[in-house]
Amino acid sequence: MSSQALFRRSSAARAATGRAGTSPPHARPRGAWSRRAPLLPALVFMIVVTQLPFVGTLVISFMRWNALDPGDRGFAGLSNYSTEFTDPQLRSSLTTTVVLTVAVVLVSLVLGLGLALLLDRRFPGRGIVRTLLITPFLVVPVASALLWKHALYNASYGLINGTLSWVWRLFGSHDAPQPDWLSQSPKLAVEASLIWQWTPFMMLILLAGLQSRPTDVVEAARVDGAGAWQVFRYLTFPHLRRYLELAALLGTVYVVQNFDAVFTLTSGGLGTANLPYAVYTTFYQAHDYGQASAEGVIVVALSIIVATFALRTVSSLFREEIR
Amino acid sequence: MATTLATAGVRPLSGASGRARARERRHRGLLGLLAWACGIVFFLPFAWMVLTSLHSEQDAAANPPHVGASLTLHGYREFFGSGTGVSPWPPLVNSLTASLASTALVLLLAIPAAYALSIRPVRKWTDVMFFFLSTKMLPAVAGLLPVYLIAKNAGLLDDIWLLVVLYTSMNLPIAVWMMRSFLADVPVAIMEAAQIDGAGLPTVLTRIVTPVVLPGIAATALISFIFSWNELLFARVLTGVVAGTAPVFLTGFVTSQGLFLAKVCAAAVCISLPVLAAGFAAQDKLVQGLSLGAVK
């Protein structure tokens, strides 16, 4: 039994060295295709389903095409793009996208870092606290948006205003402020609900980063008399930097695409319409296919800027792993 | 010898640093309390949703909140259509079909692909990896219109199988990245030995690779299931009465209508339940999936 296993291993090793070292060059193409075969279905599927539609979008973005006026279809040059940048409403969706994304990513990154640092140390019930913190990320996004809209923000029966009346009543007053959160600060309301959902994501990635940190170096520094702040500033933070970048960039890629929260909480009203929502309304309600495509191309252009950095960060972590 | 020396050297210090250690312990206790407080704050909206779903509509809409009100399943009965006769089952079944079928398709495509990217890698396999990843970085909304036009011409609008294909493309890059990192742990020597003994690729995949990476397959499946279940934009645009999914059903609650808070919360809880179950089950693997396998 063991000798058989030994024989197998050595023959495998021989075969491996034989293939790597002395295989004749003309045998290679067949080997290469048998290697590629398992990959091809997935690759072809991805190209057909994700790349070709985008080519379609690119072509339509240069066309004059409104489904409500099917007779007037033709080449429009850059006019869809110039409309995009001159129409105040569409331009506002561009800035809303940037503001919304930056605010949500930055705040949830900072909160996520704090929570990850808290969870990195041992304390009773750490597993339970981690589970509690992950929960917001596991609520279906539409359900989460409905929860914020109706159960928390609602002016007459939401939990926030309910808590305000309760606190005021404690002090014997019956006229607690009851603001209508969604109409008074719509952007902040959308951002808060998204921060609630995305902080756990940031925390999970940063916690994984913290736990991959070499402990012996930290211990050596502690023995040498480094304080908690010094350990964080000179050891933890440099190690964590790439994880912070990764969390921020992946978070950006996901939040830029957000549709559910804007659609559910405000239906894009009150200046909260971001680009994905604008694409949705231009296409689904206004039926302006050319304009919607131009918006789609702009979202892609924005994403490519972020994605270039994201891909670079992922690849630096990745090359370290496969080394 | 060395250890006795070390402990002897430490001992005189321990008395002097006893007070510092006590302070450190108290400090640590406070940070533990802070972590608990944060956990509860983040959990609170979810807990409120569950509690509200179990209240009567009158108690749910009370202001100030009626926390200790008696519990009832009225909201859940309403959600399942006792009052309106609108059953949530068709959308739930649609969601289940789309999520399960696309997850199966994802695994069917991703496992062989990951094999060709790790165990017997093709040339320039890292470039292929980054091609997959870059498709994930493109916002899905950019391809929405051509997909809609093609589906309309092919008569596939309001067809759950269209969503299956789209959700597969949405999750395939994540699955390829995850599966590659799991397959990288497969003992290659055993596989090559089997191949020398005459085993073909299908046998190697099913008999040797799959058992070793089964936990990885489970985690990939759960992540793919969660993302498919959550998707709204494509489902909203491409389906209607027949193939509408659970998130589309939930959008029916966007505008408020009288006393319906308990019902909304019951709906949100029920529709989130599969994701919560999958997410808690895959807690440890969640981060790996979300970071596309970049973080282990």
In a domain, B44, yes or no: no
Start-to-end CA span in chain B (Å): 40
In a domain, B67, yes or no: no
- Which domain range does residue A252 map to? 89-322
Distance CA B64, CA B212 (A): 55
List the alpha helices (DSSP H) in chain A.
2-22, 28-36, 40-46, 52-60, 79-86, 88-119, 126-134, 141-146, 159-170, 181-184, 186-211, 215-223, 228-231, 237-256, 260-265, 275-284, 289-322
Q: pLDDT by residue for chain B (296 residues), tens digit each?
A: 444 444 444 444 445 567 777 887 787 788 889 999 999 999 999 999 999 999 888 888 887 888 888 888 888 888 887 777 788 889 999 999 999 999 999 999 998 898 888 877 888 888 888 888 888 777 778 888 888 888 888 888 888 999 999 999 989 988 898 888 888 877 778 878 888 888 887 887 778 777 778 878 888 888 889 889 999 989 998 888 888 899 999 888 888 766 688 889 999 999 999 999 988 887 877 777 777 666 66
Q: A179 — alpha (psi -120 to 50), left (phi > 0) or beta?
A: beta
Beta carbons of A140 and B52 less than 8 Å apart: no
In a domain, A199, yes or no: yes
Stated pTM of the model: 0.82
- Which domain range does residue B181 map to? 89-247+272-290
As for the ipTM of the complex, it is: 0.83
Please give the C-alpha separations between residue A52 and each of A82, A108, A277, B143, B152, in angstroms, as whole numbers: 25, 35, 22, 8, 16
Q: Considering only residues 228 to 287 of chain B, which have any Cβ-Cβ distance to chain A shorter than 8 Å?
A: 229-230, 232-233, 236-237, 246-247, 250-251, 253-254, 256, 261, 264-265, 267-269, 271-272, 275-276, 279-280, 283, 286-287
Residue A97 has pLDDT above 80, yes or no: yes
In a domain, A20, yes or no: no
Identify all chain A residues contacting B95, using CB atoms and an 8 Å cutoff: none
In a domain, A60, yes or no: no
Distance CA A38, CA A36 (A): 6
Nearest alpha carbon to residue B114 among B39, B182, B24, B166: B182
Q: What is the dihedral of CA A275, B42, A142, B283, to 10 degrees?
A: 100
Nearest alpha carbon to residue A260 among A276, A283, A281: A276
> Hey, of B291, B292, B296, which one would you mutate to test binding to chain A, going by the most A CBs within 10 A of its CB?
B291
Query: What's the pLDDT at B165?
Result: 93
- The amino acid sitting at B162 is L
Distance CA B113, CA B99 (A): 21
Distance CA A94, CA A99 (A): 9
From A138, A209, A283, residue closest to B295, measured CB to CB = A209
In a domain, A207, yes or no: yes
Q: B143: which DSSP letter?
A: G
In a domain, B46, yes or no: no
Number of domains chain A is built from? 1
In a domain, B218, yes or no: yes
pLDDT level of residue A26 (50, 70, 90 thresholds): very low
Sign of CA pseudo-dihedral B227, B230, B236, B240: positive
DSSP SS3 for A288: strand
Distance from CA of A22 to the nearest CA of B (A): 17
Whether the ω angle into residue B64 lies within 30 degrees of 0, i.e. cis, is yes
Distance from CA of A322 to the nearest CA of B (A): 9
Q: What is the CATH number for A170? A: 1.10.3720.10
DSSP SS3 for B94: helix
In a domain, A16, yes or no: no
* Inter-chain contacts counted by CB atoms under 8 A, chains A and B: 340
Distance CA B61, CA B65 (A): 8
DSSP SS3 for A178: coil
Over the stretch A131-149, which tens digit does the pLDDT of each residue have?
999 999 999 999 999 999 9
In a domain, B230, yes or no: yes
Q: B123: which DSSP letter?
A: T
Residues 6+ apart with CB under 8 A from A148: A189, A192, A193, A196, A265, B45
Residue A15 has pLDDT above 50, yes or no: no
In a domain, B213, yes or no: yes
Percent of chain A with pLDDT over 70: 90
In a domain, A268, yes or no: yes
> Hey, of B24, B254, B257, B284, which one would you mutate to test binding to chain A, going by the most A CBs within 10 A of its CB?
B254
Residue A206 has pLDDT above 80, yes or no: yes
Distance CA A179, CA A116 (A): 34
Q: What is the dihedral of CA B203, B205, B211, B216, to 10 degrees?
A: -170
Query: What's the pLDDT at A14?
Result: 38
Distance CA B271, CA B265 (A): 10
In a domain, B114, yes or no: yes
A284 phi/psi in degrees, rounded to 5: -85, -30
In a domain, A189, yes or no: yes
Residues 6+ apart with CB under 8 A from A32: B122, B123
Distance CA B294, CA B174 (A): 10
Distance CA B146, CA A81 (A): 18
Q: What is the CATH number for B196? A: 1.10.3720.10
In a domain, A122, yes or no: yes
Number of domains chain B is built from? 1
